[in-house]
Structure 1
């Protein structure tokens, strides 16, 4: 039987676990969240992504109950959560600092919330053992937080947050304190744990790679507004604005004006003495309308000779080369000053670099490679 794809947001009958309805949050004259409506579904791993001060932490703090909306409502399982105090919500929050009790063992840290809820001893023991197994911490149960590594402390915080089986777990920059390699491993662990427990996770991060790795959907935020909430693939391949295209991953933005050619195809004029760029787009543009083409470096082919069938073929000079082990990114400057990035994969171990600084090269890409956006 084919596996069903997890996409409740595309199912008109699916009931969201969380509903933000026209939520605004002001602090004095400052609007942190500006009239936002958003649905998050059960079992989702949802990421709020954006630069510092964009409102993502405020969204999370409202879910946790540390802030209340100035206007609008937030519902959890169909219930308005505004009157419910933080400790009575089926929501748990894992802080960036982990906030573990230094004098308690790993076992006792995980049991802490269960004891406060007056759960009986046997049930606590069973639940703690389950959490230790889930986070692979059985061997460290008797140790104190200072006797284990940063990655293990993070797993203790996660086990403690999940012990009370919340409907929703909020994670505030949970991997901020980990080094790059550990961070990567932990991302996959988090996804695994989220899948096993079926708990809805909402993560706040400014790390785009992290959001794109772990999340079922990503909400990109800017100045208190969600500019696009979509799957990582759609955010990367089909951004709805120059802001989203520019925020996620490596990209070249070429600004110009559109001229309709045939149905669904446009020619973009962008610089004097440069040929027009041909692009396919479902978005409608009028003649002379300002537009921008967002093109990813891996979609641009770099060659020494002019490609025979290159629809969009432009000549330039190599300005910079970034060698990243598995890939090399070339920054190529066109005569008018526009810089376009092109990427090649380094498949052979000691392949001789075909191009070097100040080489004249040709860049080309297909009509469907870039995304034409409003300028």
Structure 2
């Protein structure tokens, strides 16, 4: 979902669709989710992102009703749903495996839940036709799952999940089985379907790119706790700690001692014999406080000579080059053996590029390019 005027989380009067309140989930001595409080709003495409074992799937299973919180409560549309059984919740879940019935064709797979609920035949036919159209599966309606592609099976599972018009759809690693190109295409299809239906989607994923592409907001988790909840651009551009900066995309982390150098400006003393780095920060740091300067590689300029107007400039030697087609990433060894990364867009053909291994280069960036973090 592109970031735009839709931002109910900024409105103090907006009522969340989902409320987690001091939710803890233990499995014996292991705490999977720890005292977690979170609001998710209607029509959001919300992503739970984190490494394996961080608690994101446990959160989703509690929403679905497959797990019960050890303490705290969960509300859906103002109702405490903890005592409500899974089949009585206005929630549906799409599993990573898709769980399609192999002996039923696409039409019957989509219709299955509606038939079990006793929907009248005319209304059922109309609803299935609507779902087939929504997911562009009309011409595959009479095929069985093994006769269609992985991406098409994913859309069948999505259509079946949406057929009962749930208030909330939970997606557990829904694109994990797809190859990269198909996964990227499917992400945009998912966003389009979510926007058309207005259903609130909550997706669990460990794929940063997927979360950043589809979500209105992302919750980065670690060891059962929420580390940061924000829009994709805020998560990327303004991480609140080293863990988030390092988990999302590529980043350079330079540790040093921060000293105030004016209003919202600090110098970072990072290596003996090296000029301090200048960083902007609206957070207050005490004199000589240990700090971490996080700079994304694409914000670092690589040049043969030191730019005359550079606020921050470090000289180093190219140790390695990763050529990725559209971009090249230079791994540059600087003072103290530290390795910094800089990315450049490959706008010229490879034989015309200026740098290679062992070249001495300058890395430079503006004082506002990085984020100064205290932990």
TM range (shorter): over 0.9
Secondary structure of the structure 2 residue equivalent to 1:336: helix
1:24 aligns with 2:28: no
Query: How far apart are the structure 2 equivalents of 1:39 and 1:4?
Result: 19
Indicate the residue corresponding to 2:359 in structure 1.
Answer: 359
Confirm whether residue 155 of structure 1 aligns to residue 184 of structure 2. no
Corresponding position: 1:334 with 2:330 = no
Equivalents in 2 of 1:279, 1:4: separation in Å? 29
Distance 1:125 1:228 in 2: 44
Aligned equivalent of 1:90: 90
Question: In 1, are the aligned partners of 2:18 and 2:77 still within 8 Å (CA)?
Answer: yes
State the Cα distance separating 1:144 from its structure 2 match: 0.5
- 2:5 aligns to what? 5
Partner of residue 249, structure 1: 249
- Structure 1 gap segments, 5+ residues each: none
Q: Is the 8 A contact 2:23 2:73 kept in 1?
A: yes
- State the alpha-carbon separation in 1 of the partners of residues 4 and 200 from structure 2: 19
SS in 1 for 2:352: coil
The residue number in structure 1 matching 2:300 is 300
Q: Deviations over 1:187-236 (max 9, x none)?
A: 00000000000000000000000000000000000000010000000000
**2:318 alignment counterpart:** 318
What's the CA shift for 1:4? 6.8
SS where residue 126 of structure 1 aligns? helix
What SS does structure 2 have at the residue aligned with 1:42?
coil
Q: Who is 2:233 aligned against?
A: 233
Deviations 1:108-144 (A, max 9, x none): 0000000010000001000000000000000000001
C-alpha distance in 1 between matches for 2:350 and 2:278 = 36
Q: How many residues align?
A: 373
The Cα of 1:335 is off from its aligned counterpart by 2.7
Distance 1:117 1:66 in 2: 20
1:38 aligns with 2:28: no
**Structure 2 equivalent of residue 172 of structure 1:** 172
SS of equivalent residue, structure 1 residue 31: strand
Task: Summarize deviations over 1:274-323 as a string: whole Å, max 9, x none.
Answer: 11011010011001111000000011111000110111111000011111
SS at match of 1:245: helix
Give the drift of 1:51: 0.2
- Correspondence for 1:106: 106
Cross-structure match for 1:214:
214
Contact 2:271–2:335 (Cα < 8 Å) also in 1: no
CA RMSD of aligned residues (A): 1.0
Q: Confirm whether residue 62 of structure 1 aligns to residue 62 of structure 2.
A: yes
Residue 286 of structure 2 aligns with which residue? 286
Whether the aligned pair in 1 keeps the contact of 2:21 and 2:72 (CA below 8 Å) is yes
TM-score of the pair, normalised by structure 2 = 0.98
1:316-340 Cα deviation digits (max 9, x unpaired) = 0001111111111101111311111
Give the Cα–Cα distance (whole angstroms) in 1 for the partners of residues 204 and 64 of structure 2: 13
Give the superposition deviation at 1:273: 1.4
1:15 equivalent in structure 2: 15
Distance, in Å, in 1 between the alignment partners of 2:195 and 2:351 is 41
Whole-angstrom distance in 2 between the partners of 1:343 and 1:60: 36
Secondary structure of the residue aligned to 1:21 is strand
Q: Work out the CA distance in 1 between the residues paired with 2:22 and 2:136.
A: 41
**TM-score (structure 1 length as normaliser):** 0.98
Q: Match for residue 73 of structure 2?
A: 73
| Aligned-partner Cα distance in 2 for 1:240–1:67 | 30
SS of equivalent to 1:322: strand
Residue aligning to 2:346: 346
- 3-state SS of 2:320 partner: strand
